[in-house]
Structure formats: C-alpha cells, structure tokens
Chain A
Amino acid sequence: MNSRRSRRTLLATGIAILSIGSLAACAGGSDGGSGGGEGKDPKAFTVLLPNENPTLKAQLDALAENQCAAENEALPLEHQSVAQADVVQKMTLLASQGALPVHFVAGTAQVRPDGDLGASGLIVDYNEVLEPAALDNILPAAKSTVENVYGGMVSLPYQYNVEGIWYNKQIFADNGIEEPQTWDELMDASAKLQAAGITPMAQPGAAGWPLTRIMGMYIQRNVGPEAMQAIRDGDAKLTDPEYLAGAQALADMASAGYFGEGFTTMEPDASTNAFLTGTSAMKYDGSWLLSNINDEGQNTIGTENVGFMPFPAVSGGKGSIDQWAANAGTATATSAEQFGPLVSDWLTCISENYGQQALQDAGVISGFKVNGEVTDVPETTALVQDTIANIDETVLWFEALFDPKSNSLASTNVSLLVTGQMSPEDYMKDLQASIDANK
C-alpha cells in the first residue's frame, strides 16, 4: 500500500515538474532579441508573406532576377508563407523560438512599440537602420501613414492605398447625378438610383470592415481628422453624440435598402462583381480594387466608366472632403537580430526599385517612389496616382488604432447594427467598453 502511494506521489511530482518546466521554458521568451539592428547577416534573405498576397511574392522574385540580382547573389531570396488569419499565431510562435524569418508580415498590434514584437526589440525601426538614400525612396505620405498606424517606421509600404467611393460614370450620367459632395447629396443620389432599380452601393457585409469604413468616415467628416486618435487617447468616447451619429448614419443607409438585397452576408468578390458588371452604381473600397478594375475579364462596364471620389463631407462637420483615408498594406517588419549589411543592401534595393517594378508589372501603387519610366499605365490607375499626388492630409480608418479584440468586435457586431438587431447606442457602448477593458 505504502509502495503504491509513493509511486503515485512520484508520478504526480513528475508531471508537476514537467508542467512547471515547460511553462518556465515558455516564460523565457520575453528576453527577446538584441534590438537596434545590430544583428549579423543570415544565410538567406527569408521572406514570410501571406498566401493571400501572391503579387508581392512575384514582384520580389522579379527584383531578385533583375534589379536586385547582385543582392540576391550575395544573400539568396527564400520564401515562406502563412495564411493571413494565422499571422499573429505564427509570428508569436516563431519569435518565441528565436526562429523569425528576416523579413515578414506581422499583426498590426504586434509591431507597435507596446506590442509583443515591438516591446521585445525583435524588429527594426527602418528610420534608424536604413541609409538616408533608402529612406528617401519612401513617399512622405506613406511614411506618415505607417508611423500613424504602427507608432513607428516598422513596416515597409509595399502598398499605398487610398480609400474612397468608386462609381459608375455612365449610371450617374443616365440618372442625372453629379459626384456627391455632401452626405445629404449622397443619400439623395442613392434614393434616385434605388428608384431607378439600381443598387446604389454594393457593400459586402460578410467581411464587416466595408461597412465600418462608412461609419468611420462619417465620424471623421463629422468630428474631424483627429476623431479616432481622440478615442485612443481617451479624450472622447464612441458613445458621444457626434460619434453615435456615424453608427446611426450607417444603420439608416442599410434600413433604406441602399446596400441592396442580401448585403449582410455578401462576400467581397460578389460585391466587386456587382459593381464591375453595372448592377450597382457605387462601391466604397480602396485603390487595391484597381487590379479588378483593370482586368477586362471582370470589368464589363469599361475602365472609362469608372470614377473615384472622396467620401463626402458631413454638413456642419469639422472634417474635410480633401482628407482621404489611407493605409500602407499589411505590416512588413524586419528581424533586428538578422539585420546585417547584406540585409540592408536588399532592403535598399527594394526601396529603389519596388515602386517602378510593381506599378509596371502588376499595376500596384506602392508607398515607394517610382524611379524610372512606367509605360502603358491604365487610365484608372493614373487617376488614382494623380489623386494620391494631390493629397495633403490623410486619415486613418475606423479600427486602425483599436486593440485586436475591439477591432474584431467592431467588424463582427456591425452586421447586428445594419440589420437593426442592435441599436447604434448599444453598438458603440459595447465597443467603447471593449476599448476601455483592453487599455
């Protein structure tokens, strides 16, 4: 009996030691890397990108073969991939194992100064480690957007997207509609289009964010460009009347039927198809839609019929129609531990050549300068380029400064808001409570 009891005690002690040992091993991960970009060069330029962005991989391959062939010779480019949905999990795991790739995508919150990667000193601030010549190749507007979103220059702007309302010029002309300059004009135009049997605006509710963007932009126009920073800093609450007005405006637009039938569960591809086949007259989206617009197989209304306008002003609001929402794509960081001279050469080469390469080859507008001639730029792409060139001030999107939980809540609950299952007051109250709880 005694012997059995002592065996059990031994077994229990063994399991306890194993568990504690495992936990202690995990806890050691907080020591992080060296930081400050003082690392040694790795054996390869490993780049981890999301599966959902094949364009970036293709453009880096093209650079490796051409403009950056010498850098590739010295430090060969190697790809790794991850599903966008698994980015946070994968990077947390790799970082804790000391196995970060050289250049990689990461979660927005992870790369911020107080984020898991930023606080551990595992990633570089490009402002500190890149040569001035390389930094000069990043467009000031893109640099400013990156710093606003991530709290530092910790991401390279492989995309530079502005957001606005794409519209069908032919449908507008047929119905005697001019580009709406105010929210009221947008609602009048929507009513006119709906009466004519055309879906005013195709918004894919299944994704969540295409709906919160409208609410966020209404708030930016109503409160001013600092609206979301004020929420982050605790100087305002989403339950304040001027913020509530944004949720109300979105709910009203939905209940009026301006998003068409079945929009709540509509997927992004379906809404893009509705716009590019002329079923709907407008679509709030980013400049990344250019790849669809420039694809003749998808666009049956013709590129000449596609217009792009800023989100309209709100009467009496402090924001301006000239302030465009902008973003610089997914966070793309570089490991501090592996940032040596050869990695620096690679990133410098990318900054010099990516802008031209991506625009010429894939029609992608990036946050890098276009150093060289680009031929046969499609009409709509040129229109967006002009727009970007003339922007003086950009604003962030609704969830840009939220913590990951509140970001997710904003997108998931918006379907309840637009179907009337949740009042604007309750939507904003829940969201504000989440923001407060996760500070």
Chain B
Amino acid sequence: MKSVFGDRKTIIILLGPALLLYVLLKIVPVAWSLGLSFFEGNSLRGFEFVGVDNFVKFFNDGAALQSVGVSVVFAVLATAGQVTIGYLLALLYVFVLRRGSAFVRTAVFFPMVLPTVAVALLFKSFVSVGANQGPVNDLINFFGFDSVEFLASGAGTMAVALVMTWWGSMGFYAVLLFTGLLDIPEEVIESARLDGANGLKLVRHIVIPLSLPILLSSLIFSFNSTLKVFDSLLALNGGGPGTQTAPLTLYMYRTAFEYAEYGYGSTIAVILTVLCLVFTLAIFRSSRTKVED
C-alpha cells in the first residue's frame, strides 16, 4: 500500500482529475477575472486595456467604498452573532439538554434549509407597516407606540437583516460547535468539576480553551460567507434605502450585469477576493497564536 501511494504516477492518476476540475472551475475564473480587471468594456463593445485605472477608480469611488463598509460591518456583526448564539446553543445542548437535545437541534437547524430569499420575504412581511402590517408593528402598537417602518432606514434594514441572518444560521453553527464540544474528554470536565470549577468558571477556563480550534474555524467560515452576502440584502430591501445596505457583491453585480461594465465589475470581484483572503489570514494567524498558547 505504501509503495502504491508513494508512487508519483499513482498520485497523479488519483489526484489529476480532481485537480484539473479544481483548476478549471476555480483557478481559471479567478485568473480570468484578474485579467479582466485591467480592461474596460464588455464582451460586445470589446475590451480596452487600461492598466491599473480600474483599481485607482475603485479607491476614488464613494459608492464602492460605502459598499465595502456595508460588507465589513455586516460581516463583523453577523459573524459575532452567529458564532455567539451558536456557541450558547451548543453549550445548552451539551450541558443542559444533553442526550435529549436531538429535537431542539433539528428545530433550530431547520431555518438553515429554507431559501434565503424566502426568509428575507418572510422577515419583510414581519416588519411591514400600514395596510398589510406585520406582527412586529402589531406588537409595538399593542404597547402603545407608533408603528416603525424598519426598512425605511439603513440602521433598521441592517438590524432586520442581522436578526434574519442569525435566525437562519444559528442552528448550523450550533451543530458545528456542538461536535467540537463533544470532542472535549469527559474526564477533563469531571476533574475540573472535582477541582471546584462549575458554571461560568468551567466554561471560561476549560470549555472555551479546549474548543478554541473549532470556534476559530467557525469564525473564519462565518466571516467568509457573510462578507459575500448578496441575496438576503437584495431581497430584503434591494440594498436600500438608497444604497445604505448595498454590499460589495451587489455593487459588483450591478456594475457588471446591469451597467455592462465587466472590467470594473471584475476589479470589484478581485478586491472582494482580496478582502476575504486578508480577513481569513488575520483570523487564521490570531487563531494559530491562541491555539498554540
């Protein structure tokens, strides 16, 4: 067996097809996009080489920089909520519900299988105001306050989008972190308890340090997916009001596909890729240091 897997030809035969597919589906489009970012135009009008003009334009484009801000703020808040709520649920499964957590795990995970656009429309109707008022404003009226048009402001739209994202994905992170908590040896927990560590002390000094690798993996996973948010913010309020909740992905989509500026659209895509890479490396580096500690 060792001689088979030690043979270079065997490795090439086994890995070759997968590697080829990966290169075709991942590397080529990224390289293509990178190439296009140095051009201006579209496939019909033709492309004109403009060097780094698109990158210079990006850093002088107020709308693009605003979109970066929206993406980063959304990613930070959504990640913090997703991982925190997921972790609290995981602790609940392991230390409170124990073996009886299967039903709760399934129920909390369920929103994850719903289409994002359907969830966005659901939340839109929850917070609607006026003739087809939703339950949230009914509740606000019940306590004697005036209805609030959440989606008429950037902060309101962002708040609804975050709640929607947390609700939709907390079950997934709970299950992910739950598996991490299951890996902590029972004996370690028991001996910590015998040493007098209970409740918060146990979580702070034993559980969190031992589940740090899976926690940081969750952070990387969550940040990368939320930094690329598109459909939920588009379906919720079209990136509005104005462009106050338009993430970089939406700006890229509009630039490339609505305005047919493929060169500049590719530049935005490249910058988004770099952003994802930078944040991932930053979290990864800090995670390596902490885990090694």
List, in ascending order, chain B residues with CB within 8 A of A413's CB: 242-243
Asked whether any CB of chain B lies closer than 8 Å to the CB of A23, the reply is yes
Task: Let me know if A88 and B128 touch, CB within 8 A.
Answer: no
Most buried by A among B43, B124, B149, B153: B43
User: Which residue of B27, B34, B128 is within 8 Å of A265 (Cβ)?
Assistant: B128
CA distance A258 to B133 in the complex (A): 18
Most buried by A among B149, B153, B241, B257: B241
CA distance A32 to B130 in the complex (A): 51
CA distance A404 to B258 in the complex (A): 8
In the complex, per-residue mask of B237-258: 1 if CB is within 8 Å of any chain A CB, else 0? 1111111100000000010111
CA distance A215 to B283 in the complex (A): 49
Task: Let me know if A412 and B238 touch, CB within 8 A.
Answer: yes
List, in ascending order, chain B residues with CB within 8 A of A116's CB: 42, 44-45, 260
User: Which residue of A32, A206, A261, A421 is within 8 Å of B129 (Cβ)?
Assistant: A261
Given contacts A29-B43, A29-B46, A30-B45, contact A262 B149 (CB under 8 A): yes
List, in ascending order, chain A residues with CB within 8 A of B124's CB: 265
Given contacts A19-B32, A30-B46, contact A261 B147 (CB under 8 A): yes
Asked whether any CB of chain B lies closer than 8 Å to the CB of A405, the reply is yes
Task: Let me know if A405 and B259 touch, CB within 8 A.
Answer: yes
Given contacts A29-B43, A116-B42, A413-B242, contact A279 B254 (CB under 8 A): no
Given contacts A30-B46, A93-B43, A415-B240, contact A19 B130 (CB under 8 A): no
In the complex, per-residue mask of B38-65: 1 if CB is within 8 Å of any chain A CB, else 0? 0101111111000000000000000000
List, in ascending order, chain A residues with CB within 8 A of B244's CB: 416
Asked whether any CB of chain B lies closer than 8 Å to the CB of A22, the reply is yes
The bracket for how many chain A residues form the interface is: 35 or more
Given contacts A23-B36, A88-B257, A262-B131, contact A421 B242 (CB under 8 A): yes
Given contacts A262-B149, A264-B149, contact A412 B46 (CB under 8 A): no
Task: Let me know if B128 and A262 touch, CB within 8 A.
Answer: yes
Give the nearest-CB partner of B256 in chain A. A89
Give min CB distance, B136 to chain A, whole Å: 12
User: Which residue of A20, A89, A96, A119 is within 8 Å of B35 (Cβ)?
Assistant: A20
Asked whether any CB of chain B lies closer than 8 Å to the CB of A176, the reply is no
Asked whether any CB of chain B lies closer than 8 Å to the CB of A422, the reply is yes
Task: Let me know if A422 and B242 touch, CB within 8 A.
Answer: yes
CA distance A260 to B257 in the complex (A): 35
List, in ascending order, chain B residues with CB within 8 A of A93's CB: 43
List, in ascending order, chain B residues with CB within 8 A of A412's CB: 238-243
A-B contact count (CB 8 A): 120
User: Which residue of A86, A119, A419 is within 8 Å of B257 (Cβ)?
Assistant: A86
Task: Let me know if A274 and B241 touch, CB within 8 A.
Answer: no
CA distance A26 to B34 in the complex (A): 15
Asked whether any CB of chain B lies closer than 8 Å to the CB of A167, the reply is no
CA distance A408 to B240 in the complex (A): 12
List, in ascending order, chain B residues with CB within 8 A of A264's CB: 149, 151-152, 241
Asked whether any CB of chain A lies closer than 8 Å to the CB of B20, the reply is no
Task: Let me know if A120 and B44 touch, CB within 8 A.
Answer: yes
Interface size on B, residues (CB 8 A): 41
Q: Which of A10-24 contact B (CB under 8 A)?
A: 15, 18-20, 22-23
User: Which residue of A20, A85, A92 is within 8 Å of B43 (Cβ)?
Assistant: A92
Asked whether any CB of chain B lies closer than 8 Å to the CB of A266, the reply is yes
Give min CB distance, A24 to chain B, whole Å: 9
Asked whether any CB of chain A lies closer than 8 Å to the CB of B202, the reply is no
Asked whether any CB of chain A lies closer than 8 Å to the CB of B31, the reply is yes
Asked whether any CB of chain A lies closer than 8 Å to the CB of B28, the reply is yes
List, in ascending order, chain B residues with CB within 8 A of A408's CB: 254, 258
List, in ascending order, chain B residues with CB within 8 A of A30's CB: 44-46
Asked whether any CB of chain B lies closer than 8 Å to the CB of A28, the reply is yes
CA distance A262 to B237 in the complex (A): 14
Task: Let me know if A88 and B258 touch, CB within 8 A.
Answer: yes
Task: Let me know if B151 and A27 touch, CB within 8 A.
Answer: no
Task: Let me know if B242 and A265 touch, CB within 8 A.
Answer: no
Asked whether any CB of chain B lies closer than 8 Å to the CB of A95, the reply is yes
List, in ascending order, chain A residues with CB within 8 A of B147's CB: 261-262
List, in ascending order, chain B residues with CB within 8 A of A29's CB: 43-46
Asked whether any CB of chain A lies closer than 8 Å to the CB of B132, the reply is yes
In the complex, per-residue mask of B10-46: 1 if CB is within 8 Å of any chain A CB, else 0? 0000000000000000011001101110010111111
List, in ascending order, chain B residues with CB within 8 A of A119's CB: 45
CA distance A405 to B240 in the complex (A): 15
Q: Which of A391-416 contact B (CB under 8 A)?
A: 404-405, 408, 412-413, 415-416
Most buried by A among B237, B242, B243, B244: B242
Q: Which residues of B contact A (CB under 8 A)?
A: 27-28, 31-32, 34-36, 39, 41-47, 124, 128-133, 147, 149, 151-153, 237-244, 254, 256-260
- 7 chain-A/chain-B pairs, Cβ below 8 angstroms: A19-B32, A19-B34, A30-B44, A30-B46, A96-B44, A270-B130, A415-B152
Q: Which residues of A contact B (CB under 8 A)?
A: 15, 18-20, 22-23, 26-30, 32, 85-86, 88-89, 92-93, 95-96, 110, 116-117, 119-120, 206, 260-266, 270, 273-274, 279, 404-405, 408, 412-413, 415-416, 419, 421-422
Shortest 7 CB-CB distances between A and B: which pairs? Answer: A262-B130, A30-B46, A96-B43, A262-B129, A19-B35, A415-B241, A89-B257
